[in-house]
């Protein structure tokens, strides 16, 4: 029973980390967007507007939870949680310190890549449950994009697995050397781009284009259920950045122990900022451009990276 | 009751409830979700038996691939206004009899097929890789080439459809 309770405790910890990260992420995104576009962002409440995030939470909690009349009630109500849960689950396999991950499994990297496919199903169900043509369109777009970009994302992680000779994230961190950085630069770039598309963020945010599809697959959601979708999105940013910082960028390198964890968090924060920077500077791409870019640029680039590592590997 | 037994009970419950729901629920989307629960339950069974690679692959391929494809089909299917797509069968008893027959046949044949020979199984993903890229390399490569040809064929067919 203890392992079950331990799992439960880790689950609650993961949800709290993602919820906290999402609240901070919203504030940070406003500041980053403001600075990039030569405005201030939140600045009235607290120092540098930092108490704005505390003001946002009760606002969302007390908003009315509207369920459309025609909606499929049980599916409508449970779908947001099903979208959020895989994001929290994916965080469990990430090694936070050299040699330790909350859920240390021999197929951790595969687990991390497989879990977003549960999210695709949940997004489709959420889009369908609203009984709204626009949401359905947004859901179909989101799903097609997420499935397409899963391919380059998985391919970009494969060189790591080759170099480490293991699917266990802890082993990847353990065998990480500084020269992996230049060797895997192309794969890292593919991973970042594919991850941005995978989490439906700008410039690949067609599925939830606010002005055209009114937030796409969750257009009929309001209040806390809407906030859970946003938490899932920010959670995905944090999880993908944390994974990249831990595996591609060598976890706490060049430090060890507690300072290493701080270094890992700093690297993650930097990657999160890069993701936000991309959203607020690059124009949105069209759906056909998006899918063509995936199959004709990203997948070949990932394969080239795989070939480079395959050629270099026997001499290491 | 230990945690492992509780986990196995949960996996079995998920599998059975999902399977029953997938057959009996009339609304297509809910039937799909039941099917997803069933597939997830099977993955949980694999995980319980120690085949973690198989469990993750099950989620990857069946929940992420097959189920998404089916949900896609349901969402793009034409439906009457303000009416949810529903499955209606006039052959309940007959199809139940056929399903029971096929199930019994599978059960009996599989039980006798593997009764004498102990199949060597390994839970480790590196053993699996050694097996696939060692003694079964030719079959593995042939399957890969076959899939690639199928993929190129699909591309050619789709392209032909666009030109017409």
The H or E element containing residue A313 is none
For residue A304, the model assigns a pLDDT of: 94
| Choice among A148-152, A230-234, B92-96, B127-131 with the minimum mean pLDDT | B127-131
CB pair distance less than 8 Å for B60 and A110 = yes
Interchain pair B65, A117: CB under 8 A? yes
pLDDT(A144) > 90? no
| Cα–Cα distance, A135 to A91 (Å, whole number) | 28
Q: Does residue B80 surpass a pLDDT of 60?
A: no
Contact A167 B7 (CB under 8 A): no
Residue A167: which of B72, B74, B125 has the nearest Cβ?
A: B125
pLDDT of A249 > 60? The answer is: yes
- Judged by a CB distance cut-off of 8 A, whether residue B73 touches chain A is no
Given a cut of 60, whether residue A1 has pLDDT beyond it is: no
pLDDT confidence tier of residue B60, bands split at 50, 70 and 90: confident
* A114 → chain B, closest CA residue: B60
Block residue for tokens 């496919």: A117
Mean pLDDT of B84-110: 82
pLDDT reported for residue A244: 93
Alpha helices in A47-93 (DSSP H): 52-62, 73-91
Q: Give this complex's ipTM.
A: 0.81
- Identify whether the C-beta of residue A129 lies closer than 8 Å to the C-beta of residue A79: yes
* B87 confidence band (pLDDT: 50, 70, 90): low
Q: pLDDT band at A40, cuts 50/70/90? A: confident
Instruction: Convert the pLDDT of each residue in A169-205 to its tens digit.
Output: 998 888 888 889 889 999 999 999 999 988 888 788 7
Say yes or no: A75 contacts chain B, CB-CB below 8 A: yes
Q: SS3 helix, strand, coil % of chain A, rounded to 5?
A: 75, 0, 25
* A120 in contact with B, Cβ within 8 Å: yes
The pLDDT tens digits of the residues spanning A49-87 come to: 778 878 888 888 888 888 888 888 888 888 888 888 888
Answer with the residue of higher pLDDT: B86 or B14: B14
Residue A107 with chain B: CB contacts under 8 Å: 52-53, 56, 125
Please report which helix (H) or strand (E) contains residue B145, including its range.
helix B137-163
A127 touches chain B (CB under 8 A): yes
Q: Which residue of A9, A114, A303 to mutate against B (max B Cβ within 10 Å)?
A: A114
The pLDDT value given to residue A308: 93
Quick one: pLDDT band at residue B121, thresholds 50, 70, 90? low
**Using 50, 70 and 90 to split pLDDT, how confident is the model at A301?**
very high
* pLDDT in the model for residue A48: 78
Q: Cβ of B67 under 8 Å from any chain A Cβ?
A: yes
Q: How confident is the model at residue A254 (pLDDT cuts 50, 70, 90)?
A: confident
Phi, psi of A39, deg, nearest 5: -135, 180
Residue of chain A whose alpha carbon sits nearest to that of B3: A1
Token pair belonging to A38: 């030569």
Closest approach of B86 to chain A, Cα-based (Å) = 14
Beta-carbon count within 10 A of A240 CB: 27
% chain B with pLDDT above 90:
23
Is the pTM for the entire model greater than 0.90? no
- pLDDT-based confidence at residue B61 (cuts at 50, 70, 90): confident
Residue B122 has pLDDT above 70, yes or no: no
Beta-carbon pairs below 8 A across chains A and B: 82
Average pLDDT value for chain A: 86
Q: Is residue A269 within 8 Å of residue A121, measured between CB atoms?
A: no
pLDDT at residue B78 greater than cutoff 80: no
Q: Looking at the partner chain, which of A1, A136, A167 has a beta carbon nearest the beta carbon of B75? A: A136
Average pLDDT over residues A228-244: 90
CA gyration radius, chain A: 20
Q: What average pLDDT score do residues B23-36 get?
A: 86
- Cβ of A107 and B56 within 8 Å? yes
pLDDT confidence band for B41 (50 / 70 / 90): very high
Instruction: State mean pLDDT over A83-93.
Output: 87
Residue A21 has pLDDT above 70, yes or no: yes
Give the closest residue to A149 by CA, choosing from A191, A183, A187. A191
Q: What is the DSSP string of B66-114?
A: IIHHHHHHHHHS---TT---B---S-HHHHHHHHHHHHHHHHHHHHHHT
Of the candidates B73, B61, B62, B12, the one whose C-alpha atom is nearest the C-alpha of residue B36 is B62
What pLDDT is recorded for position A258?
Answer: 85
What percentage of chain A carries pLDDT values higher than 70? 97
Residues of B in contact with A110 (CB under 8 A): 53, 56-57, 60, 125
- B29–A contact, CB cutoff 8 A: yes
* A contacts of B64 (beta carbons < 8 Å): 114, 116-118, 120-121, 147, 150
């Amino acid at each position: 029973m203890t392992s079950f309770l331990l799992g439960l405790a880790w689950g609650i910890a993961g949800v709290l980390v993602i919820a906290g990260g999402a609240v901070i992420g919203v504030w940070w995104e406003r500041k980053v967007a403001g600075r990039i576009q030569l405005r201030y962002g939140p600045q009235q409440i607290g120092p540098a507007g930092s108490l704005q995030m505390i003001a946002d939470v009760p606002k969302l909690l007390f908003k009315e939870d509207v369920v459309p009349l025609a909606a499929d009630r049980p599916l409508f109500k449970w779908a947001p949680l099903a979208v959020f849960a895989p994001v929290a689950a994916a965080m469990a396999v990430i090694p936070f310190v050299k040699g330790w991950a909350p859920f240390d499994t021999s197929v951790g990297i595969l687990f991390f890549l497989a879990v977003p496919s549960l999210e695709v199903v949940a997004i489709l169900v959420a889009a369908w449950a609203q009984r709204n043509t626009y949401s359905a369109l947004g859901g179909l777009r989101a799903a097609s994009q997420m499935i397409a970009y899963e391919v380059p994302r998985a391919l970009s992680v494969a060189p790591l697995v080759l170099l480490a000779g293991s699917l266990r994230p802890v082993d990847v961190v353990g065998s990480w050397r500084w020269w992996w950085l230049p060797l895997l630069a192309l794969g890292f770039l593919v991973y970042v781009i594919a991850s941005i598309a995978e989490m439906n963020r700008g410039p690949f945010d067609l599925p939830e284009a606010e002005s055209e599809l009114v937030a796409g697959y969750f257009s009929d959601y309001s209040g806390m259920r809407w906030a859970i979708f946003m938490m899932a999105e920010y959670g995905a940013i944090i999880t993908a950045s944390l994974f990249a910082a831990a595996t591609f960028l060598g976890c706490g390198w060049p430090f060890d122990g507690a300072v290493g964890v701080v270094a890992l968090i700093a690297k993650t924060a930097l990657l999160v900022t890069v993701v936000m920077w991309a959203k607020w500077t690059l124009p949105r791409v069209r759906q056909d451009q998006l899918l063509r870019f995936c199959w004709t640029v990203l997948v070949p680039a990932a394969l080239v990276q795989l070939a480079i590592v395959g050629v270099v590997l026997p001499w290491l | 009751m230990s945690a492992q037994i509780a986990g196995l009970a949960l996996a079995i419950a998920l599998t059975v409830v999902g399977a029953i729901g997938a057959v009996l629920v009339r609304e297509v989307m809910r039937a799909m979700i039941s099917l997803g629960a069933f597939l997830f339950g099977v993955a949980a069974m694999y995980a319980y038996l120690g085949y973690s690679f198989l469990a993750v692959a099950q989620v990857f391929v069946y929940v992420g691939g097959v189920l998404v494809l089916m949900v896609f089909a349901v969402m793009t299917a034409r439906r009457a206004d303000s009416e949810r797509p529903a499955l209606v069968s006039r052959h309940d008893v007959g199809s139940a009899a056929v399903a029971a027959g096929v199930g019994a046949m599978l059960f009996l044949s599989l039980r006798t097929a593997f009764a004498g020979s102990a199949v060597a199984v390994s839970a480790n993903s590196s053993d699996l890789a050694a097996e696939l890229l060692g003694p079964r390399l030719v079959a593995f490569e042939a399957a890969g080439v076959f899939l690639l040809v199928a993929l190129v064929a699909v591309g050619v067919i789709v392209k032909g459809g666009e030109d017409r």
